[in-house]
Amino acid sequence: MNLHEYQGKEILNSFGVRIQRGIVASNHKAAVDAAKQLTVETGTSWYVVKAQVHAGGRGKGGGVKLAKNLAEVESISNDIIGMMLVTPQTSAEGKKVNQVLICEDVYYPGDSEPEEYYMSVLLNRNTGKNMIMYSTEGGMDIETVAEETPHLIFTEEIDPTMGLLPFQARKIAFNLGLSGVALKEMTKFVSALYTAYIKSDSSMFEINPVLKTSDSKILAVDAKVTLDENALYRHKDYALMRDLREENPIEVEAKAAGLNYVDLDGNVGCMVNGAGLAMGTMDLIKQAGGEPANFLDVGGTADAARVETAFGIILKDPNVKAILVNIFGGIVRCDRVAQGVVDAYKSMGDKINVPIICRLQGTNAVEAKELIDNSGMEIISATEFQEAADKVADVLGL
């Protein structure tokens, strides 16, 4: 689960990671109040107004702006809230900004050379160990650094049984070219960051930039935090941070209905039981020349209500030109599923405006096929997997 910058910073702060302070606001009046409050708390007289959306590169897209007084806070916030922010990481249409984070300005006026670093914590899937990836080239797109100056990216792997050792944190600070107070501060920052990563059950932290101020403080100016959804049951407070406005609306609806649905770009809707069979079905559709429009695992109980919900969700995607139902009846009997498909089809009437190919295999498959063939509905039945895929290709004219 992805978080907004302000939520990520909240988590970092709770583990003692120094952050650029900020207060979130959803309208320009609240933004001004936030700025006043920040001045009381930090003494700052300049502010940074930062769009809160689940996408990076906001600075480049005009979603991060410096405000030198309260009037500027108000007008910049007014401009940014409600805008469609386009960044190198969003679609061309952009993402709607619902909130801004009003931050203290930490690039002190007159500070000629603030140092920016890159730091992320993530799992190296090849070695099965967490690692800290870091670079002196902060504030830039790390993919560009990786392409143009790969020797400026360092990694430090962490042994899961030992955790981050003090010498490793010092080595990171040293490789970033730090000494004296800044080296000590960075060592503390790295240790706290790693603790936060482990304790919050995150799957990724990306702090770009980490800033060294002219008085040698080290702090997180940005925070991209991805939580491991499977561990959310241990963090009820983090679960509340989910912002559904940032997620695909069809996926949100499917999730609420208990369906395992992932939206894809193709034109063949899939309704399958079991994740493995769903993957296999997508492969076969591709082999037959089609493109899957979604991954959908309806789970074990494919009754009429569930099938109807699933059809409804698949049909929300305007790209869908055909639907392939591929169900293996093991515990659930095929004739029950077939009845479900027929009932759903009947009750949905002309909402179903694309051909449906239905393959049911397993317990009572013969009865199921009869049920479908005799239903009087325009459902094309198939027995074999390949046959089903070929029939999909047929209706699409491939």
118 is catalytic: yes
Residue 208, interface with Mn ion (CB under 5 A)? yes
DSSP string of 135-188, one letter each residue: ES-TTS-HHHHHHH-GGGEEEEEE-TTT-S-HHHHHHHHHHTT--HHHHHHHHH
Q: What is the DSSP letter of 114?
A: -
Indicate the SS3 state at residue 270.
strand
139 binds, among ligand GDP, Mn ion, none (CB under 5 to 8 A by kind): ligand GDP
Question: Shortest Cβ distance from residue 35 to ligand GDP (Å)?
Answer: 13
Which residue, chain included where needed, has tokens 């940074």?
48
Question: Shortest Cβ distance from residue 240 to ligand GDP (Å)?
Answer: 23
Question: Shortest Cβ distance from residue 222 to Mn ion (Å)?
Answer: 3
Q: Among all residues, whose Cβ is closest to Mn ion?
A: 222
Q: How many beta carbons lie within 10 A of that of residue 286, not counting itself?
A: 14
Q: In whole angstroms, what is the distance from residue 155 CA to residue 146 CA? A: 12
Task: Report the residue number, 137 or 222, with the smaller CB distance to ligand GDP.
Answer: 222
Which segment (25-33, 177-185, 206-214, 246-254) binds Mn ion by CB under 5 A? Answer: 206-214
Q: Which of 6, 117, 118, 345 is catalytic?
A: 118
Task: Report the residue number, 100 or 352, with the smaller CB distance to ligand GDP.
Answer: 100
23 binds, among ligand GDP, Mn ion, none (CB under 5 to 8 A by kind): none
Task: Give the E-state strand segments of 267-345 in sequence order.
Answer: 268-272, 294-297, 322-329
Which segment (154-162, 181-189, 202-210, 366-374) binds Mn ion by CB under 5 A? Answer: 202-210
Q: Which of 5, 10, 115, 206 is catalytic?
A: 206
Task: Report the residue number, 62 or 355, with the smaller CB distance to ligand GDP.
Answer: 62
Q: In whole angstroms, what is the distance from residue 93 CA to residue 97 CA? A: 12
Q: Which residues contact 57 (CB under 8 A, 6 or more apart)?
A: 87, 88, 89, 141
Measured in residues, the chain has a length of 398
CB 269 within 8 A of CB 261: no
Q: How many beta carbons lie within 10 A of that of residue 101, not counting itself?
A: 23
CA atoms within 13 A on the CB side of 274: 11
Task: Report the residue number, 62 or 362, with the smaller CB distance to ligand GDP.
Answer: 62
Question: Shortest Cβ distance from residue 340 to ligand GDP (Å)?
Answer: 46
Indicate if the alpha-carbon torsion angle 371, 373, 375, 378 is positive or negative. Answer: positive
Which segment (80-88, 208-216, 245-253, 378-386) binds Mn ion by CB under 5 A? Answer: 208-216
Candidate list 115, 156, 185, 222; residue touching Mn ion; CB under 5 A? 222
106 binds, among ligand GDP, Mn ion, none (CB under 5 to 8 A by kind): ligand GDP
Task: Report the residue number, 90 or 326, with the smaller CB distance to Mn ion.
Answer: 90
**Orientation of helix 5-14 relative to helix 180-199, angle to 10°:** 100
325 binds, among Mn ion, ligand GDP, none (CB under 5 to 8 A by kind): none
Question: Shortest Cβ distance from residue 147 to ligand GDP (Å)?
Answer: 18
Task: Report the residue number, 56 or 329, with the smaller CB distance to ligand GDP.
Answer: 56
Could you list the residues that contact ligand GDP (CB under 6 A)?
20, 48, 50, 56-59, 64, 66, 103, 105-107, 139, 208-209, 221-222
Residue 294, interface with Mn ion (CB under 5 A)? no
Sort strands 379-382 and 47-51 into parallel, antiparallel or unpaired: unpaired
Supply the residues annotated as catalytic. 118, 206
Question: What residues make contact with Mn ion under the rule CB under 5 A?
Answer: 208, 222
